[in-house]
Amino acid sequence: MLSFNQLLWLFCSLAFILLSQCTYAKYLKSSCNTCKQIADNFSKGLDRTKKQNFGGGNTAWEERALSKYETSEIRLVEILENLCDSSSFDCNHMVEEHEDHFETWWFKRQNKHPDLYKWFCVDTIKVCCSTGTFGPDCNACVAGSERPCHGNGVCDGDGTRGGNGRCNCDHGYKGEFCLDCMDGYFNEIRNDTFSLCTGLVSLEQGMHLNHLSHSIPYTTECHTSCKTCTGLTNEDCEKCKTGWGEDDEGTCLDVNECLNDPTLCKEDQYCLNTDGSFSCKGCDELCSGCTGAGPDKCQSCAPGYQDTEGTCTDVNECEQTDAVCTAENQECLNNKGSYICICASRYKEQEGVCVKIPEPEENEAEIVKRPEEHEDL
Q: Which residues contact 62 (CB under 8 A, 6 or more apart)?
A: 54, 55
Nearer to ligand NAG, 60 or 189 (CB): 189
> Applying CB under 6 A, does 329 fall inside the site for ligand NAG?
no
Nearer to ligand NAG, 120 or 305 (CB): 120
> Applying CB under 6 A, does 84 fall inside the site for ligand NAG?
yes
* Separation between Cα atoms, residue 191 and residue 198, nearest integer Å: 15
> Applying CB under 6 A, does 85 fall inside the site for ligand NAG?
yes
Nearer to ligand NAG, 40 or 176 (CB): 40
Nearer to ligand NAG, 198 or 234 (CB): 198
In the list 47, 100, 137, 192, the residue contacting ligand NAG (rule: CB under 6 A) is 192
> Applying CB under 6 A, does 88 fall inside the site for ligand NAG?
yes
Residue 259 amino acid letter: L
Outline where DSSP puts E strands in 136-240: 139-140, 153-155, 167-169, 173-174, 180-181, 186-190, 195-198, 226-229, 237-240
CB of 102 to ligand NAG, least distance (A): 15
Provide the H-helix boundaries in the chain.
4-49, 60-70, 73-81, 89-97, 99-104, 116, 203-212, 257-260, 364-376
Which residue number is nearest to ligand NAG in terms of Cβ?
Answer: 85
> Applying CB under 6 A, does 288 fall inside the site for ligand NAG?
no
> Applying CB under 6 A, does 47 fall inside the site for ligand NAG?
no
* Separation between Cα atoms, residue 33 and residue 91, nearest integer Å: 10
Q: Which residues contact 343 (CB under 8 A, 6 or more apart)?
A: 329, 330, 331, 349, 354
Is 230:186 a contact under the CB 8 Å cutoff? yes
**Which residues face 250 on adjacent strands?**
none
CB of 147 to ligand NAG, least distance (A): 11
Output DSSP code: residue 311. Answer: E
* Separation between Cα atoms, residue 119 and residue 254, nearest integer Å: 63
Binding mask 193-222 toward ligand NAG (x if CB under 6 A, else -) reads xx----------------------------
Binding mask 150-189 toward ligand NAG (x if CB under 6 A, else -) reads ---------------------------------------x
CB of 84 to ligand NAG, least distance (A): 4
* Separation between Cα atoms, residue 137 and residue 83, nearest integer Å: 28
* Separation between Cα atoms, residue 343 and residue 327, nearest integer Å: 9
* Separation between Cα atoms, residue 230 and residue 226, nearest integer Å: 10
CB of 100 to ligand NAG, least distance (A): 20
> Applying CB under 6 A, does 41 fall inside the site for ligand NAG?
yes
> Applying CB under 6 A, does 373 fall inside the site for ligand NAG?
no
In the list 39, 91, 252, 255, the residue contacting ligand NAG (rule: CB under 6 A) is 91
> Applying CB under 6 A, does 80 fall inside the site for ligand NAG?
no
> Applying CB under 6 A, does 25 fall inside the site for ligand NAG?
no
Phi, psi of 299 (to 5 degrees): -75, -45
Nearer to ligand NAG, 91 or 141 (CB): 91
SS3 264: coil
The size of the interface with ligand NAG (CB under 6 A), counted in residues, is 11
In the list 5, 58, 111, 191, the residue contacting ligand NAG (rule: CB under 6 A) is 191
> Applying CB under 6 A, does 89 fall inside the site for ligand NAG?
no
Binding residues (CB under 6 A) for ligand NAG: these are 37, 41, 84-85, 88, 91, 189, 191-194
